[in-house]
Chain A
Amino acid sequence: MAEVTGRNTAAWWALLLALGALSVNFAFFAKPPLQAVLPWLGLLLAVSALVVLSMALRRAIVHARAYRGQWLSIILAVLTLAMSGMNFFIFFHARALPKASNAPQIGQQAPDFSLADTAGNTVSLDSLFSSSPGNPSSPATKGVLLIFYRGYW
């Protein structure tokens, strides 16, 4: 019969990794320069959490006699699984965007448009480049930045 050798620390490490994976999602709000690697960092942490979790579960179930806190390990395992699962969901949901391969590319002509702004004025691409009638001294518009966004909710 095996002696009790210690705590199942792997269960805590798995939980910590899953927490780290979830917390990466908050880092996006700071828009760090390396933001493009953050989704992959989150995914890596979530996968690592599952790897360490499998180790922790082996200790808790197969080698139960060698480790104390079997039930605690299982509770931590459920939490780790839930948080990792949430992170996988966020990862795939956030990237479920249609391709933009037919959108105007560099060097191509930007399609014209005519839409209402929040004051009800009609704004077209042409009108943005034409000099403002009330202020002839204002410098000519060199460019227009078009930002298509999903909406406010």
Chain B
Amino acid sequence: MAICVDSAAVSRDLSKKAGYTFPILSDPNSAVIRRYHLLHPGGGPDGQDIARPAEFLVDRDKVVRWTNFAEDVRVRARADEMLAAASQLR
């Protein structure tokens, strides 16, 4: 489940080009991004507010079980790290 400020049309384009099968949610007013305290004011290419990169693994009780907050936009969580965290869930 991915969340960003892009419109549905932009995310549809991304999913199609990259072949993504997971859902992408649009948060155009960054309401949820703010609720998660992940706003990067003026961080977008045209100076718009966007989300800073972050990943959370949430269990059935809606408790956060694993997080990753990038310190460098070039260094993102790898798929194997996320899958390893997910495999720890009961």
**What residue in chain B is nearest A152 (Cβ atoms)?**
B14
Q: Tally chain B residues at the interface, Cβ within 8 Å.
A: 60
Residues of B within 8 A of A (CB): 1-6, 8, 10-15, 23-27, 32-33, 35-41, 43-45, 50-60, 62-67, 69-76, 78, 82, 86, 89-90
CB pair B4 A152 closer than 8 Å: yes
Count class of interface residues, chain A: 35 or more
A31-B78, A38-B74, A115-B32 as given contacts; A152 in contact with B11, CB under 8 Å: yes
Q: Top 8 A-B pairs ranked by shortest CB distance?
A: A102-B37, A115-B25, A100-B69, A152-B14, A113-B32, A148-B51, A28-B74, A147-B2
CB pair A103 B37 closer than 8 Å: yes
CB pair A25 B25 closer than 8 Å: no
CB pair A151 B58 closer than 8 Å: no
List residues 115-153 of chain A with CB under 8 A from any CB of chain B: 115-120, 123, 125, 128-129, 140-153
Residues of A within 8 A of B5 (CB): 151
CB pair B36 A145 closer than 8 Å: no
Could you list 26 examples of A-B contacts with CB < 8 Å?
A: A31-B78, A94-B73, A94-B74, A97-B40, A97-B43, A98-B39, A98-B43, A103-B38, A103-B54, A108-B63, A115-B26, A115-B32, A117-B24, A118-B26, A128-B1, A142-B60, A142-B90, A143-B60, A143-B65, A143-B86, A145-B56, A147-B2, A148-B2, A148-B51, A148-B55, A151-B10
